[in-house]
């Protein structure tokens, strides 16, 4: 997907690998200046250097986004680096598989702080810059699991993503007065280096139930991000875009019958 993001300054969390890496790459390729936020410098320096070699203007900030102070620092670093902030893409997250009976309060809290609270903190810190931007954009990478029961053992993750979906709709109401949009992307099964715990056998059971007959790619999610960041979507806000190859279409039995016709 090709859009013109020249002059736009973006912050991408979790930009050191997988989906976040491709999002950062596509934003740079479409003209944006990008600050990548990663948990460790090692996980982001390779991406930063690669994008700089392509001619991109890219900065890196390494921190743990599970605290408000870290989120404030990430936004300040991005705004200071390029003189403002127009786009925030919150992609970072953790998703431990833990049976509910073993889910400790500390683990639940860690997931909520990293996945949900950080979305709120980043949006809050970015608001003054979004107000100053002519077309501010907040994009959260959520999950199908935020609205659908899919895999057991992801109770905390599901709660965090459901919360992200809810707060995004309400933030959209408040940010609209500043000409800014707030939207969510709900990926289905995506094969990247963030999903190492899903073995081949499990994937092989899921993919045949996807009408498009393949798992998603990080580029599928990055293309959706570009849409939400582009002028094309300036009248679209408070929405959750499902990017799953049709996996969650409501009547799979009808699809199975139609596919045999």
Q: Active-site residue numbers?
A: 157
- Distance, in Å, from the CA atom of 171 to the CA atom of 81, rounded to the nearest integer, reads 26
Q: Which of 238, 150, 252 lies closest to 210, judged by CA?
A: 252
The Cα angle at residue 76 between residues 180 and 172, in degrees rounded to 5:
20
Q: Is the dihedral of CA 114, 116, 117, 121 positive or negative?
A: positive
Region label for 62, one of left (φ > 0), alpha (ψ between -120 and 50) or beta (otherwise): beta
φ, ψ at 45 (rounded to 5°) = -65, -35
CB-based burial of residue 244 (10 Å sphere; 0-12 exposed, 13-18 middle, 19+ buried)? buried
């Amino acid at each position: 997907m090709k859009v013109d993001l020249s002059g736009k300054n973006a912050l991408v969390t979790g930009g050191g690998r997988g989906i976040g890496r491709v999002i950062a790459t596509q934003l740079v390729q479409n003209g944006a200046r990008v600050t990548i936020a990663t948990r460790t410098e090692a996980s982001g320096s390779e991406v930063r250097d690669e994008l700089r070699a392509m001619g991109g203007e890219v900065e890196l900030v390494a921190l743990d986004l599970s605290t408000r102070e870290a989120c404030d620092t990430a936004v300040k670093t991005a705004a200071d680096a390029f003189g403002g902030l127009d786009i925030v893409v919150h992609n970072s997250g953790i998703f431990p598989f833990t049976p509910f009976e073993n889910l400790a309060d500390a683990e639940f809290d860690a997931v909520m702080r990293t996945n949900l609270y950080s979305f709120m903190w980043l949006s809050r810190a970015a608001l003054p810059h979004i107000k100053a931007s002519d077309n501010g954009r907040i994009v959260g990478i959520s999950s199908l699991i935020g609205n659908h029961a899919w895999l057991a053992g992801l109770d905390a993750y599901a709660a965090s993503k459901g919360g992200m979906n809810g707060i995004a709709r309400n933030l959209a109401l408040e940010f609209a007065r500043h000409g800014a949009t707030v939207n969510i992307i709900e990926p289905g099964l995506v094969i990247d280096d963030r999903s190492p715990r899903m073995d081949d056998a499990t994937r092989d059971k899921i993919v045949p139930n996807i009408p498009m007959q393949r798992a998603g790619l990080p580029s599928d999610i990055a293309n959706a991000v570009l849409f939400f960041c582009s002028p094309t979507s300036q009248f679209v806000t408070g929405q959750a875009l499902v990017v799953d190859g049709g996996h969650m279409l409501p009547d799979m039995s009808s699809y199975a019958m139609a596919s045999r016709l």
